[in-house]
Amino acid sequence: MALPGFRDFYPADCAFRNAIFAKWRDVAHRYGFVEYDGPPLEPLDLFTKKSGQEIVTQLYNFTDKGEREVALRPEMTPTLARLVTARHKDFKKPLKWFSIPQVFRYERQQKGRLREHYQFNCDIIGEAGLEADIELIALVIDTLRAFGLTEKDFVVRLSDRQFWTDFMNERNVPEEERYAVIQAIDKSEREPREKTAEKLGRLATEVFAILDDAGSAKSERLDTVETGLRYRGLPDYVKRDFTVVRGLAYYTGVVFEVFDRSGEFRAIAGGGRYDNLLKNLGEVDLPALGFGMGDVVLGEILKGNGWSPHHGQSGVYVVIADEDYRAQAMKIVQELRLQIFDEAVDYSLQPSKVGKQFQTAEERVFEFAVVVDSQVTDGIVEVKVLATRQQTKVAIENVYSHLMEKRGERYRRG
Ligand code: HAM
């Protein structure tokens, strides 16, 4: 059995996961992002220094055989910062990079939270202007729209970490107490008021007044972002909410979290600006922002909506109707496998009744069957469109073009 919080991916689970990845890649490409990756194992101090205490308590870390302190990555952002810092001169700014790492957190297992997940990360590095924040939020919205979700299904809760930094500056909150205040606000929705009040101490009354009435707090940054999203036709997808501050330590400006409207699930995605992370990591001072979207909550929502990765029929099943001609059939199989892109060309490894072979082809939702029998000695096979049962004699060298023609007819019929 797999460890608690870890998943097995049987073929149907892999198909589902890969369909999610394919959409993620598609939308990222449409926004001009390019893909990168990094190692799943990193030096421990990359995370202890940068991510903040909460994630450090959730690390999978150990000492390796070379006495190095290492950890499985709990998130991608410190790795991205490390990559960019090391070779920033090689890339034109702004960088628009995405990745789909598997990340690991030793969390208490609960609905929507596991100990590993895949996380779609999109980040823009080297652009300080709010246009980048707007672009990134539009991207998170369009990613979810690509799965057929609408403003009725999810909302982006917008906030401003800088607003809270200013708030703490004005009240002379000492540097070492600030992350605790941010953490208390971050958890305030999921915890009883008294508990949050205790953590906030003298700030409690003022903080609650702001949380209860988002209109009472001013943020020109959020005004600009909201206007930008309105121009793009996306105002119904966002809502201002100052309880969102993000649990991670490095955020500095506009931050956001995406939730399902029903309130049934944990966050679908989260991100924001982290303008000081690269500077703190090395000598490179570049502004940055990004988000992460996990496959767990999203997958649960999509399953609830009946979203399915299957696109109907595809591929070719070669039916060997007469075992005497298996060799000729194999030649056709190999030929078609060179011609057909990203679809199965399959056949029965063992001799089997013709009816059985057709049954397999239909169960596995193939689009076409190519039947090989004695006519193959005259260079002829029968091509069958499985959905319509229409059958045609075709010269072997024309099989591929015939299949494409039939498919074209199907598309035109709709
Ligand atoms: P995060 O909010 O910690 O941000 O995680 C982002 C998303 O990953 C969450 O909204 C959720 O969908 C998913 N997620 C997190 N933990 C788990 C878990 N235990 N099980 C399943 N899904 C989970 C970050 O990690 C930031 N590094 C994102 C970022 C990128 N910020 C800037 N760039």
Is 6 domain-assigned?
Answer: no
CA 268 to ligand 1 centroid distance, Å: 8
pLDDT digits (tens, 9 = 90+) for 190-249: 899 999 999 999 999 999 999 888 777 889 999 999 999 999 999 999 999 998 988 788
- Which one of 304, 336, 362 terminates a domain? 304
Instruction: Tell me the pLDDT band of 396, cut-offs 50, 70 and 90.
Output: very high
Which ligand 1 atom lies nearest to the CA of residue 121? 30
- Which one of 270, 304, 338 terminates a domain? 304
Instruction: Tell me the pLDDT band of 2, cut-offs 50, 70 and 90.
Output: very high
In this structure, are strands 238-240 and 154-160 parallel, antiparallel, or unpaired? parallel
Is 225 domain-assigned?
Answer: yes
Nearest-CA residue for atom 11 of ligand 1: 294
Question: Which one of 97, 117, 273, 281 would you pick to mutate in the ligand 1 pocket, going by the greatest count of ligand atoms within 8 A of its CB?
Answer: 117
- The rounded distance, in Å, linking the Cα atoms of 102 and 84 is 20
Sequence-distant (≥ 6) Cβ neighbours of residue 118 within 8 angstroms: 17, 20, 21, 100, 101, 102, 103, 294, 295
CA 314 to ligand 1 centroid distance, Å: 35
Q: How many CA atoms lie within 13 A of 62 on its CB side?
A: 6
- Tell me, yes or no, whether 226 and 362 share the same domain: no
Decide: 16 and 309 in contact? Cβ < 8 Å. Answer: yes
- The rounded distance, in Å, linking the Cα atoms of 343 and 366 is 10
Is 168 domain-assigned?
Answer: yes
Is 309 domain-assigned?
Answer: no
Is 3 domain-assigned?
Answer: no
Looking up residue 215, the CATH number of its domain turns out to be: 3.30.930.10
Q: How many structural domains is the chain composed of?
A: 2
Nearest-CA residue for atom 26 of ligand 1: 292
Sequence-distant (≥ 6) Cβ neighbours of residue 214 within 8 angstroms: 240, 241, 242
Is 197 domain-assigned?
Answer: yes
- Tell me, yes or no, whether 391 and 334 share the same domain: yes
- Tell me, yes or no, whether 351 and 300 share the same domain: no
Q: Is the pLDDT of residue 392 over 70?
A: yes
- The rounded distance, in Å, linking the Cα atoms of 120 and 296 is 11
Is 70 domain-assigned?
Answer: yes
* Structure confidence at residue 414 (pLDDT): 60
pLDDT-above-90 percentage for the chain? 84
- Tell me, yes or no, whether 390 and 299 share the same domain: no
pLDDT digits (tens, 9 = 90+) for 295-317: 999 999 999 999 988 767 899 99
Q: Which two tokens stand for residue 272?
A: 């924001």
- Tell me, yes or no, whether 57 and 169 share the same domain: yes
CA 402 to ligand 1 centroid distance, Å: 48
In this structure, are strands 102-104 and 269-273 parallel, antiparallel, or unpaired? unpaired
- Tell me, yes or no, whether 277 and 343 share the same domain: no
Which residues sit with their C-beta closer than 6 Å to ligand 1?
A: 75-77, 105, 107, 113-114, 117, 119, 121, 123, 248, 267-271, 290-294, 296-297
Region 86-98: what's the mean pLDDT? Answer: 96
- Tell me, yes or no, whether 105 and 149 share the same domain: yes
Which ligand 1 atom lies nearest to the CA of residue 271? 31
pLDDT-above-70 percentage for the chain? 99
Of 43, 249, 105, nearest to 165 by C-alpha is 249
- Which one of 304, 336, 357 terminates a domain? 304
- SS3 of residue 321 by DSSP: coil
Nearest-CA residue for atom 13 of ligand 1: 294
- The rounded distance, in Å, linking the Cα atoms of 368 and 382 is 10
Decide: 40 and 102 in contact? Cβ < 8 Å. Answer: yes
- Tell me, yes or no, whether 277 and 379 share the same domain: no
Which ligand 1 atom lies nearest to the CA of residue 248? 3
Q: Poorest-confidence range of 125-139, 240-254, 328-342?
A: 240-254
* Domain carrying residue 335: 316-413
- Tell me, yes or no, whether 48 and 93 share the same domain: yes
Of 300, 295, 292, nearest to 118 by C-alpha is 295
Decide: 144 and 258 in contact? Cβ < 8 Å. Answer: yes
- Tell me, yes or no, whether 288 and 321 share the same domain: no
For residues 325 and 407, the model is more confident at: 325
Nearest-CA residue for atom 5 of ligand 1: 292
Looking up residue 351, the CATH number of its domain turns out to be: 3.40.50.800
Is 294 domain-assigned?
Answer: yes
Supply the pTM of this predicted model.
0.91
CA 297 to ligand 1 centroid distance, Å: 11
- The rounded distance, in Å, linking the Cα atoms of 262 and 265 is 8
Nearest-CA residue for atom 16 of ligand 1: 113
Of 376, 374, 410, 412, nearest to 395 by C-alpha is 376
Q: Which two tokens stand for residue 301?
A: 């929502």
- Tell me, yes or no, whether 264 and 409 share the same domain: no
- Tell me, yes or no, whether 292 and 322 share the same domain: no
* Structure confidence at residue 217 (pLDDT): 81
